A and B are shown apart, each in its own frame.
Chain A
Amino acid sequence: MAFLFWKKKRGAEGESVEQSAQNNSSVAIDATSEIISEPETLTAPAKPEKPAASNVEKQAQLEAVVLPKRSAKKGIRSLFSRIKFDPENLDELEDTLIQADFGVDAAAAIVDEVKSRAKKSGAKSDKELKEILAGVIEQNLEHDAKALNLSDGHTPYVVLVVGVNGVGKTTTIGKLSNWLVQGGFKVFIGAADTFRAAAVDQVATWAERSGATLVKPKQEGQDPASVAFETVDEAIKHDADIVIIDTAGRLQNKADLMNELDKIRRVIEKQAQISEVLLVLDATTGQNGLAQAKAFAEVAKVTGVVLTKLDGTAKGGIVYSIQRQLGIPVKLVGVGEGIEDFAFFDANEFANGLVN
C-alpha cells in the first residue's frame, strides 16, 4: 500500500524527490497536471484530493511524495496459533477474541455478526467461516481517513505525538521521521518531552539516525509548549515540510498533565494548523486503552492511533473498540526495534493476519 503525499517544491534541494520512492513513481506536478504514477503503487481510497484548488500559484509549488514500501505483515500473529479455530463451535471464538483484548462486548458483537452472515450464506467450512470473520474485522477497521494527513499543502504539516508512559512514542517518532525523510520530506522534530530523564537525548539519537533536524529545549525542564512553539517557528523559518512534536508520556487521568497537552496544542496552533495528533498505543494494552483514547481524544483531538509493539504476542484488539466507539482509526503500526519496522495500518492485512 502506498499513499501519495504532497510537499512544497523547493528548487535545487528538490533532488531529494528522486530518492523518494523505490519505484520512482513520484513526480513533481504543476497546477493542472493529473497525478502521474504507476497505478499499482496507489490505492484508491487514499488518493489525496487535489490540494488547494483555489490557489493556483500555491499548487504550482507542490510536488508529490511517495514513501518507500513497508509492511507490518511479520508482526501480526494468528489468533488461532494456540487455540485452534473450531467451525462447529463459534462460541469459543468469543473467548479467543476476548483473549486478543477485543473486550467482552466487541467479541460478542463480532461473533453474532459472523453467525448471522454464515447463516445467510450457508458457510460451514473452516475456510469460509474464517473468511467471514476476517471480513467482519476488516470492515470495522476500515476508515476513510486512514492515510496520514500530509496532503493539503499547508506546510509545515504538524504531527503531535501523544500517549501514556512507555508505549513507544519516541521510537515511533524515530521510525516515522526516518520514513518521511526517505520519502523526501524535510522533517523537524521538537523535543518537547522535557520531563523524563534523558528523553531529549533519546529523541536526539533518533533524529540523527533518521536525518531530521532536532529542536531542543534551551534549558532543562523548559515548558514543553514553548519547545513546541520554537520548533514550529524554526521549521517555518527553514521551510520544512513536517514538524513532529514529541511529548512526555502522561497518564490520562492526570488533569494537570492533560492541561499541559492542551496548552501545547493551542500554542502550536498559533503558528500552524495541526495535521495529525497521533495517539501511540502499546499493543499489550488491555481495556484501559479505550479510556486512554477517550481522554486523549477529548484533550488533544486525536486523529489517529499508532499501534506499537505488535511483534510480541499481544494482538492489540482494543483498537477495534477504539475505532468502533470513538471513530478513531489506526493509522500506523510498529512491529519491531529496527528503524524500518513500521508501516501504514492495513485493515485487510491485519484482519487476515489475525485469522490465518
Chain B
Amino acid sequence: MFGNLSDRLIETFKNLRSKGKLSPADIDATLREIRRALLDADVSLDVVKNFTTAVRDRALGDEVSKALNPAQQVVQIVNEELVKILGGEQRKLTFAKTAPTVIMLAGLQGSGKTTLAGKLAKWLKDQGQTPILVAADLQRPNAVNQLQVVGERIDVPVFAPEPGNGVGNPVSVAKDSIKHAKQKMFSVVIVDTAGRLGIDEELMNQAKDIRKAIDPDEVLFVIDSMIGQDAVNVAKAFDEGVGITGVVLTKLDGDARGGAALSVASVTGKPILFASNGEAMDAFELFYPDRMASRILDMGDVLTLIEQTQKNFDETEARALADKMAKDAFTLEDFLDQMQQLKKMGSLKSMLAMMPGAGQMRQQLENFDEKEIDRTEAIIRSMTPAERRQPKILNGSRRSRIAKGAGMTVTDVNSLVNRFEQAAKMMKTVAKGGVPQMPGMPGMPGMGGGFGGGRPGKSGKAKDKKGSKSGNPAKRAAEEAARALGQNPSEGSSGSGSAFGLGG
C-alpha cells in the first residue's frame, strides 16, 4: 500500500531545496499528490478538480510565507480551503419556536439512521429536552422493533403505531406522531424513515410526502463515511428529492478517511452538523471541520501541532536554549522553562496523541500521568536558584529540605535529579548529532535551525518515519518523552527511560 500524504510529500520534495518562493512547478507537484490523497480518501473527482484549481489559484497569488517551505505552504492552503468548505456554514441544530421541534432523518439503506436516531435522542435528552422517536421505517424487517429496543436502552419513548415489515403507511405514522407529540408535550420529534436509493422515484416521493406531512425544522441526511464516489450522486438526489437542511456523518470510528464529507458539503452546500463515531449510544458529537480536514488529508494533526508550536514557542528562547545545550550548560532552570513552554501548549497527552503514529502508543499515553509535570515543577521550585543552576551541590540535607518544601520524599527528589542528569546528557548528544525526522515536515525553517539536517538520531533506525526532527527543543523534548514513554512503559517508574523526569 502507498504511504500517507505526509510520506508522499516528502518524496516529492526530496530533491527540491527549500526555497522561499513558490513556483508554479512546486505547486503543481504538490497538487498532484494532494489530488491523489483526496481521491484515495474518496472525495468525488469533480469536487477534487474544482478544489485543486481553487487551491492552485490561491497558492500562486498568495503571499510567500517565511516560516514554511513550499510543500508546507501548499498543504496549509489546502487545509484552510478544506476547512472552509467543511465548516463554511457551520451551525447548530435549529429548534422550533413553538414545540415540538421536528427532525426527519433520511438516507440510503444501512447508513445508520436508526442507530443515529437513538443517539440524537439521547444527546437531546441529556440537554434537558424531552424527545420522542417515531418509527416510520415500515419497510425493513424489524426496523420498528430495532427502534423500540433503542428507545428502551436510552429511556426515550417510541411512537410506533404500525408493526412495519411492509405493513402500514409511513406518511400517516409521521403525521400522527406530531399530533401525539403535541398532546403529550414532547419537545422534539425524531422521525426515522426507511433507507432508500436516490434513484428510487417511488420511495423518494414517499419521503417528500413525509416531509410535507410533518413540516420538519431539520431534515438530516445521514451518510456513511465509507461511501465512495457515489456520494455526490446520492447527496444530490436527496437534496433535490427531499430537500435536506443538514448532514450527519456516521461510522467515523472506522478507518475510512471520509472524503464523502467534502463531496457532500461542497455539492449541497449544507452544513455537516454531527459526527457519529461508535456503537455506544453516546458515541455522537458535534462535527469539527478541522479534524475532518486533517483526516481527509491523512496528516495526523501535524498542522495543528505546528500552529500551536509556532504560536507558543518563542524563537529567541529556543535559540538560546539550543546554544546552552550545545555548551553543556543545561540547568534545572532550563528544564523548568521547557516544561512551562510545554504547558502553554496545552495538555501534553493530547499533544502527543496528535502526532502521526501516536496511535500505536495510545495505551502508554493513557497510563501517562500529567500530574507528574506538576510534581516535578514543585520539586524544582523548592530549590534555591543556586541549586537549580548547579545540581551538583545538592547534598543530603539540601535534598531533604527540598523534599519537605515540595511535599514529596527524598527518593522523589533523588529520582528527579537522576532523570535530569540523563536528560541533560541525552540532549547534549542530540544537539551535537542531529535528531530524528518529523513526518511531512521537512525541517521547520526559522526555528532552531542550528539543529536541522544531520544524520538521523538514534531512534531513527527503530521507527524511521515515525521519528522526529525538530529544531524546537520543546517539541522535540515532547517527542523524546513520547518515545521514552512508548519504549519503556514499565521502566518509566524507575525513571530510567524518561528524558523528562515524567516517567515516575
Contacts and interface: CB of A to CB of B under 8 A. Distances in A.
Interface of A: 95, 98-101, 103-104, 164-168, 170, 174, 195-199, 201-202, 204-206, 251-254, 282, 284-289, 291-292, 309, 311-315, 317-318, 337
A161 to B, nearest CB: 14
Contacts of A288: 42, 226, 254-257
A286 B165 contact: no
A317 B279 CA distance: 28
6 contacts: A98-B229, A99-B229, A251-B254, A254-B253, A284-B234, A291-B255
A291 B254 CA distance: 10
Nearest to A292: B226
Contacts of B140: 202
B198 A98 contact: no
Given A285-B226, A287-B228, A252 B255 contact: yes
Contacts of A253: 253-255
Given A165-B251, A170-B141, A198-B142, 19 more contacts: A95-B45, A99-B229, A101-B229, A101-B230, A164-B251, A166-B110, A202-B141, A251-B253, A285-B226, A286-B228, A287-B40, A288-B254, A289-B226, A292-B226, A309-B108, A309-B110, A312-B199, A313-B199, A313-B233
A266 to B, nearest CB: 23
A198 B255 contact: no
B224 interface: yes
Interface centre among B42, B114, B139, B260 (most CB of A within 10 A): B42
B53 to A, nearest CB: 15
Contacts of A285: 226-228
A100 B148 contact: no
The 5 closest A-B pairs by CB, nearest first: A286-B228, A166-B110, A286-B42, A197-B149, A288-B256
Nearest to A104: B39
Contacts of B150: 197
Interface of B: 36, 39-42, 44-45, 108-112, 114, 139-142, 145-150, 153, 165, 197-199, 224, 226-231, 233-234, 237, 251, 253-257, 259-260, 279
A287 B41 contact: yes
Given A201-B142, A202-B142, A286-B260, A312 B230 contact: yes
A319 to B, nearest CB: 12
A101 B145 contact: no
Contacts of A164: 226, 251, 254
B195 to A, nearest CB: 9
Contacts of A317: 228
Given A197-B153, A198-B145, A253-B255, A99 B44 contact: yes
A170 B227 CA distance: 20
Interface centre among B150, B153, B165, B229 (most CB of A within 10 A): B229
Contacts, number: 139
A286 B227 CA distance: 5
Contact of A284 (B36, B149, B230): B230
Contact of A167 (B110, B142, B234): B110
Nearest to B144: A198
A314 B228 contact: yes
Given A205-B141, A285-B226, A285-B227, A311 B254 contact: no
A286 B254 contact: no
B163 to A, nearest CB: 11
Contacts of B230: 101, 284, 312-315
B142 A286 contact: no
B255 A98 contact: no
Given A100-B229, A286-B42, A287-B42, A168 B108 contact: no
Contact of A312 (B36, B198, B259): B198
B109 A318 contact: no
A287 B36 CA distance: 12
Contacts of B227: 284-286
B145 A282 contact: no
Contacts of A166: 109-112, 224, 251
A314 B233 CA distance: 9
B193 to A, nearest CB: 15
Nearest to A169: B110
Contact of A282 (B110, B147, B279): B110
A258 B39 CA distance: 28
A201 B142 CA distance: 6
Nearest to B260: A286
Nearest to A253: B255
A95 B47 CA distance: 12
B197 A312 contact: yes
B226 A206 contact: no
Central interface residue in B111, B148, B228, by most chain A CB within 10 Å: B228
A20 to B, nearest CB: 26
A312 B107 CA distance: 13
Contacts of B226: 164, 282, 285-286, 288-289, 292
Interface centre among B40, B140, B141, B260 (most CB of A within 10 A): B141
A198 B224 contact: no
B231 to A, nearest CB: 8
A198 B148 contact: yes
A165 B112 contact: yes
A254 B234 CA distance: 28
Contact of A99 (B45, B114, B147, B224): B45
Contacts of B253: 251, 253-254
B153 to A, nearest CB: 7
Nearest to B110: A166
Given A101-B230, A167-B110, A252-B255, A284 B40 contact: no
A98 B45 contact: yes
A233 to B, nearest CB: 26
Contact of A201 (B45, B108, B145, B254): B145
Count chain A CB atoms within 10 A of each CB in B111, B199, B226, B227 and give the residue with the most. Answer: B226
Contacts of B141: 170, 174, 201-202, 205-206
A284 B255 contact: no
A104 B40 contact: yes
Nearest to B165: A205
A174 B142 CA distance: 13
A197 B260 contact: no
Contacts of A254: 253
Contacts of A170: 141
Contacts of B198: 312-313
